[in-house]
Each structure stands twice: as C-alpha cells, then as structure tokens.
Amino acid sequence: MRKKVTVVGGGFVGSTTAQRILDSGIADVVLTDILDGVPAGKALDMLESGPILGSDSHAAGISTGSGDYRETANSDIVVITAGFPRKPGMSRDDLLKANYDVVKAVVENVVKFSPNAILILVTNPLDAMAQAAYKISGFSKNRVIGMAGVLDSARMSTFVAAELGVSVENVHSFVLGGHGDDMVPLARYSTVAGIPLPELLPKETIEAIVTRTRKGGAEIVNLLKTGSAYYAPSAAVVEMVKAILHDKKKILPCAAYLEGEYGVRGLFVGVPVKLGARGIEQIIEIKLTAEEQAALDKSSASVRELVSVLGL
C-alpha cells in the first residue's frame, strides 16, 4: 500500500509540491484548499498526467472551507503551505497572527484525522509557524519539521555553481538559522567536490553569495511583482518527504525544536538533522566559531521575537 501525503494549501507552492510527489510516484496525494473546486480540479489534472509520466500514484482534491478533513485521514505526512501573503499596509505582526490562525485550524484537524502523521511546515514566518504547530499538535518534537534550510542551501549552491562554472551536483552548501534575513550561510562548511568553499573563492565573492542567499526569496518576489517562489520551495519539500518515506537517514538542514543544542532552548531554528521514517531522528551539532555562533544567536533571537508575539 502506497504512503499518503496531504498537502494543505492549493496555491503555487502547495499544488507544485503535490505535482512533484505525484510525478515521482512515491505516495498518493490529497490536495486541500478552502476554495471550492480548485483542489479537485488541480488534482484531477495531475491524475490525468499519470499515464504519460508512468505514475500510478493517486491524487484527490478536497475543499476544506467547511472544515471537513475526513479524506485526509491516516496521512503519513502532512505538508502545510496554507496561509496569507503579506499585503501592502499589513504589519509583520498582522501577518504572523493571521497565519497563526490558519495553521491552528489546520493542525487541529490533522491531529483529529491523522494523529500519527509527520508535519512539514512551509507557511511563513516559517520558524514561528513550526513552533505553533508543535505546541498546538502536542506531537513529539521529531514529528514537526520546518522546511527552510534545504531551500536556502539550494539557493546558495545555485549561486556557487554559477560563480565557479561547475555542476550543481558538486556543490554542497550549508545554511543554518531562521528562515529570514538573519539566516546563517556557513561558507566554511560549504564544499565543492569536497573542497571547502574558502579555498576556491575570494572572501568578497563569498560575502556577495551569502548576501544574495539571504535575500533569495525577496529577489524572486521583486522579479515576479506579484507572488513568490514555488518551484524551489516545492522541490525542497519533496526532498524531505522522500527522506522520510524512504527512511533514508539523510542529513538535511531543517527547522527543528532545540532543547539546548547550539545554545538554543525551546525554539525552532534551522540546523542539520537526520531525516528518516520517524521524522527528525537526530540533531547534528557542529562546532561553530565565535563569529558563527554570534550570527546564529542573532538569527535565533529574531525567531524568538516572533514566537513571543504569539505567546508561545
């Protein structure tokens, strides 16, 4: 019997995530959205691509406007992408509280219908939403994960590969911290075919790549004018889904609940973790320089500020 993944939110990130999962054939997919007909239409369209792509995975789409989540029952993984984008005149706190309400309603239904699921949070502000989902669900900390580091590391790897003119397969970048302007790209732990990045690029070039990585999401938003990134975020989610469903024990940077690791306690922050069938199976601690630790502390403080607004 195939595994089941529910993707909550039928917008660009959610629908592209569902499509990538269906195309890969790793699981059946349920796509949900509060809009009537939209998730069902998108799911049917995806399903009809199966004969062409050779995927026997099933797709279903349901409207949850009435709060009916029954078709999501017994999901192995629930990916939460639903939420509001920031609009003109909306403060960060307004966005935070609006998306908290969305995540709260979703998680309460997930607990009811899929009490053994693993949650992957994509809704922004990501680290704070992961914290909210953890508190609301009552799930063990290994079953609530934020998608951020995989995306941010992929962006950094893209820029490194372009700068050096090498295959992206040779590049392994490493980004810690919260998913925001204070994220911590670690050049010292980033490699190209095993060679540390500082041995291949001058400091000024690395600093430019770090800055572009931190502003990677905003760069795309500015180019699109309306909307935000969804191809790379969905690919990042699917890498995490595969690691869990295939029990790969893969080390990936994800937002995890820390209880003293890296000097951070009681907070979701991006760190390297081992992903397997139980979700986060280990938090990998690496040695940081004083400067790197200070940057991570600053990033963590930004996340804690958001969490404190929600009273979490």
Residue by residue, pLDDT tens for the chain (312 residues) are 889 999 999 999 999 999 999 999 999 999 999 999 999 999 999 999 999 999 999 999 999 988 889 999 999 999 999 998 766 666 667 889 999 999 999 999 999 999 999 999 999 999 999 999 999 999 999 999 999 999 999 999 999 999 999 999 999 999 999 888 889 999 999 999 999 999 999 999 999 999 999 999 889 988 988 888 999 999 999 999 999 999 999 999 999 999 999 999 999 999 999 999 999 999 999 999 999 999 999 999 999 999 999 998
Active site residue 172: no
CA distance 38 to 274: 35
CA distance 106 to 99: 11
What is the pLDDT, as a whole number, of residue 169?
Answer: 97
Question: Could you give the C-alpha distances from 115 to 72, 112, 140, 250, in angstroms and in order?
Answer: 11, 6, 11, 24
Q: Could you tell me the pTM of the whole model?
A: 0.96
The residue annotated as part of the active site, out of 58, 172, 179, 246, is 179
Residue type, 87: K
Residues of the chain with CATH 3.90.110.10: 149-310
Q: Are 245 and 77 in contact (CB under 8 A)?
A: yes
Name beta bridge partners: 253.
272
- Homologous superfamily, domain 3-146: NAD(P)-binding Rossmann-like Domain (3.40.50.720)
Q: Are 42 and 16 in contact (CB under 8 A)?
A: no
Q: Are 189 and 268 in contact (CB under 8 A)?
A: no
Helix axes 92-113, 126-137, angle to 10 degrees: 40
Looking at the chain, which runs of residues are DSSP E strands? 3-8, 27-33, 59-63, 77-80, 118-121, 144-146, 171-172, 175-176, 184-185, 191-192, 195-196, 250-259, 265-276, 279-283
CA distance 181 to 305: 14
What is the pLDDT, as a whole number, of residue 179?
Answer: 86
Q: Per-residue pLDDT tens for 216-244? A: 988 998 898 888 899 999 999 999 999 99
Residues of the chain with CATH 3.40.50.720: 3-146
Residue 24: partners with Cβ closer than 8 Å, 6 or more residues away: 55, 57, 238, 242
Q: How far is CA 14 from the centre of its chain?
A: 11
CATH topology (fold) of 149-310: L-2-Hydroxyisocaproate Dehydrogenase; Chain A, domain 2 (3.90.110)
What is the pLDDT, as a whole number, of residue 112?
Answer: 96
Q: What is the CA radius of gyration of the chain?
A: 19
